Structure 1
């Protein structure tokens, strides 16, 4: 982690995907302005952001091995499938550990921009909002491609996710989409935007940490960290937009857009050693996570500022 944290800017920019790699959402926002579905006075300007979910996605893979038994009369081949996922409690513990490191830095960075970053326990200040937050998990809509990718990964229900070691931090619901997915899918931000609007938030932050168990459960490795800011669009609801090519997609943009995203994928490296018998962490290797979080947050905020300003420059 320290090696990633100390990368020079040029190498960091090659590793980390951010506003420097994509201006798709700025194009979408500009399109709403061009069609007079949104006025410049109502461009997004978040001052209250809620952390929607802080989640662990277990990237452990199915390992296949074959054994062959021969007798004078026959040959039998047996195929063995093994999966080594984090337990639900283990996933929750890892999510809590990362949140403990990352959240204070995120809050400080946003506060410096006069933006409040709130946890669910801070913005769920009524029974109605708590219900909206919990029910929102079932209101996420994905494009056909994203649904196919989820099926390939066998992520179907919350129960399946828990069995496969993908869970959120304590006090957070697990939303069935990663930060990277919401930043590359055109339907997901619309769903999330509507949820954030119902929660009376200007935007929400999604944090995803991708991990897996290796060495027969003795080593926890990281594959990457993802963050995405998504929020509602204050469009002119009196205007209909239909009967044109692309109208369906444009109307999704009116519900919500990805304001900014930052994520990186690395060659997996160890972040913790585990005791196999007790399944407890013996040693964490998270030196550098604070710096990585700080740099990612700087990029995330810069991307959001450029989105608001319709600025496509990469500097």
Structure 2
């Protein structure tokens, strides 16, 4: 019995170690100060995550894409800066009465948060892309007429996803309160495209459908920025779950060639429409980034020191991953 009890304790100890982060981050500033080894352990990028180079090579091998037509974006549109609200509805039953507490961000609240992050993140991304001779343009710059405006506004409803998430409705239901319209939203002047970079990096349908939209917008590629948050402490505190960035673009394939009647032809044709060029994202044990005055509905204090450095490092990895994708370079340096 004593031996069994000891084994049980050992199992519980091992289980506890697995589910509780030993070195959970407590601020963006701490992440900003990570050395390269710690950074690469936390952040998913070309260094430690799958890329789309094999798919690109597959198109070349099947003579559906000429090497001289490999992607080389010089004009990238900022498709969306979106807030993903991971808040939950909790319930408490007292004397047979169930009281529900909803902590979702209001649409205005999500918009304010997205704007605040965009103010810091976008300039860092712009600087890094500009240093590589790539222009980052916002919707106000690339939506030049009613036609492109309509394409952009209606684009989100045309995105298809595969895998466990079958429809856009599934994504929206997971991250928003459909009864009140609260939850996820985008920054001012941006449409909400419910496809985070982590999905774009692992899914084949959404980059394909997005690639067609990008082509219609007259862009070489688009940048997707996502911030994952939730409200806790009965709506008095906002915590960060993670940050994401991704680049998706169309493929300049040989449209005169049909590819059908073979195993995997459907997927191969999806690759011809668009691919994920590069992605960078991380998830953390949630930590506070803002104190909220719930009665006034205002942010009392932001705790975003280090966001500029984190954004710069993410942009650097994102661009490097894209360069390797274009060069068909599978090395991790």
Measured against the shorter chain, the TM-score band is: over 0.9
Deviation at 1:145, TM superposition (A): 1.7
Secondary structure at the counterpart of residue 173 of structure 1: coil
1:71-105 Cα distance to aligned partner (Å, 9 max, x none): xxxxxx34443321000000000000000001111
Residues 1:141 and 2:168 aligned together: no
Cα shift at 1:144: 4.1
Cα pair distance change 1:297/1:254, threshold 3 Å? same
Q: Is the 8 A contact 1:62 1:82 kept in 2?
A: yes
Structure 2: gaps of 5 or more residues: 1-27
* Distance in 2, Cα, partners of 1:255 & 1:194: 6
Aligned pair count reads 306
Runs of 4+ displaced beyond 6 Å:
none
Once the two structures are TM-superposed, the CA of residue 312 in structure 1 deviates from its matched residue by 0.8
Query: What TM-score does the superposition give when structure 1 sets the normalisation length?
Result: 0.93
Corresponding residue number in structure 2 for 1:6: 33
Deviation sequence 1:105-151 (CA, Å, 0-9, x none): 11111000000000000111111111110111111011142227963
Query: Is the counterpart of residue 258 in structure 1 residue 276 in structure 2?
Result: yes
Q: What residue in structure 2 maps to residue 96 of structure 1?
A: 115
1:66 aligns to 2:90 (yes or no): no
RMSD: 1.8
C-alpha distance after superposition, 1:34-55 (max 9, x if no partner): 1000000000000000000100
- 1:314 offset after TM fit, Å? 0.7
Q: Is the 8 A contact 2:171 2:194 kept in 1?
A: no
Change (3 A) 1:162 1:178: farther
- Asked if 1:268 is matched to 2:286, the reply is yes
More deviation, 139-148/11-20: 139-148
Other-structure match for 1:73: none
Which residue is equivalent to 1:120?
139
**Which SS does the other structure have where 2:79 is aligned?**
strand
Matched, 1:22 2:49: yes
Task: Indicate the residue corresponding to 1:213 in structure 2.
Answer: 231
Q: Which runs of 5+ in 1 are unaligned?
A: 70-76
Q: Is the 8 A contact 1:88 1:162 kept in 2?
A: no
What secondary structure is seen at the aligned counterpart in 2 of 1:299? helix
- Residue 279 of structure 1 and its aligned partner are, at CA, apart by 1.1
1:72: which partner in 2? none
- Asked if the contact 2:165/2:171 (under 8 Å) is kept, the reply is no
2-side partners of 1:116 and 1:149: how far apart? Answer: 30
Shift of 1:64: 3.0
Q: 1:188 to 1:149 in 2, by over 3 A?
A: closer
**Residues 1-315 of structure 1 mapped to structure 2, 5 A cutoff:** 1-67=28-94, 69=95, 77-147=96-166, 151=170, 154-155=173-174, 160=178, 163-315=181-333
Structure 1 residue 163: Cα displacement:
1.8
Cα separation, 2, equivalents of 1:45 and 1:149: 30
Name the SS for the 2:279 alignment partner: strand
On the 8 A contact 2:106/2:182 being kept in 1, the answer is yes
